[in-house]
Chain A
Amino acid sequence: MVNREQIYKALEQVMDPEIPVLNVLDLGMITTVEPAADAVLVKMIPTFAACPAVEIIRRNIVTVLEKELHVPVTVEIDRVAHWSSNRMTPEAREKLLNFGIAPPQVHNGEAYSEILLQTPCPHCHSRNTYLRSPFGSTLCRAIHFCKDCGQVFEHFKPLE
């Protein structure tokens, strides 16, 4: 029988199509993993409600897990669990930063307008930055500008 460790190991290979350095575990998208005698059930939650990549990710999980584990895999959307950017692992934040995207601040109920001020620049680490737009190239990103290194940078937005 397949064990949990093997499933998690395989899930590490399923990357986010929009941010290819992060896997589904890094993002905190997996809520349940249930190995059974001859099948595996995985439950996942989307990051943003309208994320267009959800269906692709769901299919990628099935494909990768079936190839690695040789059992039928079912992936369901978890309708009860709530995704928040606080679910992202510390490793994920590190990977994002190295990829050139400012990671989401850990939030605790503050207003977004407060959190988004002085987001550290992923290039030069300066906090002398400002929010240029709360929207960016994907639903999960905002655009900031760094006054010290003079570069525009992207930010994975905190989401409650």
Chain B
Amino acid sequence: MSHAINNLLTAMADDALIQGHRNSEWTGLGPVMEEDIAFSSMAQDKIGHAWALYRILQEDLGGSDPDHFAFLRNEKDYRCCHLAEQPNGEYDFSLLRHFLFDHAEAVRYGRLEQSTFAPLQPLARKLKGEIKYHLLHANAWVSQLCRAGDESYARMQAALNRCFPLALGLFEPQEGEEELMAAGVYPGEKALQAEWLDRIYNILSPAGLNLPGVEAVTPAYGGRRGYHTEYLQPLLDEMGAVFRTDPEAIW
């Protein structure tokens, strides 16, 4: 079972790391100062969450040093979803991605509080509380920008249409998932996705946005098996550039 837990935690951690890196790319470029600070803070949170998960991999599952694991793997050994890999693009895309991503994390950590894998319980509880601030930010912007005139509304709907199939990749079936479900480690991707769809519908619908049907789109799968978009390798090159100059340096 440790192999399956390893897969699950690596996927969760890699999602947080890559999404955190994308958030950090708004530092210095945010449209207003508060937004610059918000994405920078969320970057710091996400990368901290990734680190905490890599640390569980190291201490409880015999994994390697979190920094080495985060920065020195080959592209195909990462397990992040395609949603997080996408470049930031316009602000509408970044916000909608952040909205879909953080609701997915909230659902996941909410369920992991009851995980039978003990090290996850305290961490899930902690992260869930912090992610609530990310949701507060995302929900406020999604609701307001959908009511801010025709162009703004059209951009939000277009961003949702683009993000939605990518976001379904957050719930790509995991190798060894049934084993984890049977052992009570977590309820499985299908159950998480259903809960997530309910949650986001309840916010998107009052904002007037049409959530595409799950059956009508092709989910962007592949990330959990190491198949990535063309955007991941350049991101990894940049993210690890300083670390690779001297992997043994103490910061």
B122 touches A79 (CB 8 A): yes
Residue-wise, chain A 98-136 has the 8 Å CB interface mask toward B (1 for contact) of 000000000000011100100000000000000011111
Say which size band chain B's interface belongs to: 20 to 34
A49-B127, A84-B129, A159-B129 known; A139 vs B34 contact (CB < 8 Å) = no
A133 touches B130 (CB 8 A): no
A139 touches B37 (CB 8 A): no
Query: Is A157's CB within 8 Å of the partner chain B?
Result: yes
A117–B37 alpha-carbon span in the complex (Å): 20
Query: Is A143's CB within 8 Å of the partner chain B?
Result: yes
Say which size band chain A's interface belongs to: 20 to 34
Query: Is A50's CB within 8 Å of the partner chain B?
Result: yes
A159 touches B130 (CB 8 A): yes
B49 touches A50 (CB 8 A): yes
> Interface majority SS on B: helix, strand, loop or mixed?
helix
Interface centre among B52, B132, B136 (most CB of A within 10 A): B136
Which of B44, B51, B122, B133 is within 8 Å of A80, CB to CB? B122
- Residues 13-45 of A contacting B (Cβ, < 8 Å): none
Which of B123, B128, B137, B139 is within 8 Å of A135, CB to CB? B137
B132 touches A48 (CB 8 A): no
Closest chain-A Cβ to B191's Cβ sits at a distance in Å of 23
Closest chain-A Cβ to B124's Cβ sits at a distance in Å of 11
What residues of chain B lie closer than 8 Å to A91, measured between beta carbons? none
Closest 3 CB pairs of A and B: A50-B48, A135-B41, A160-B129
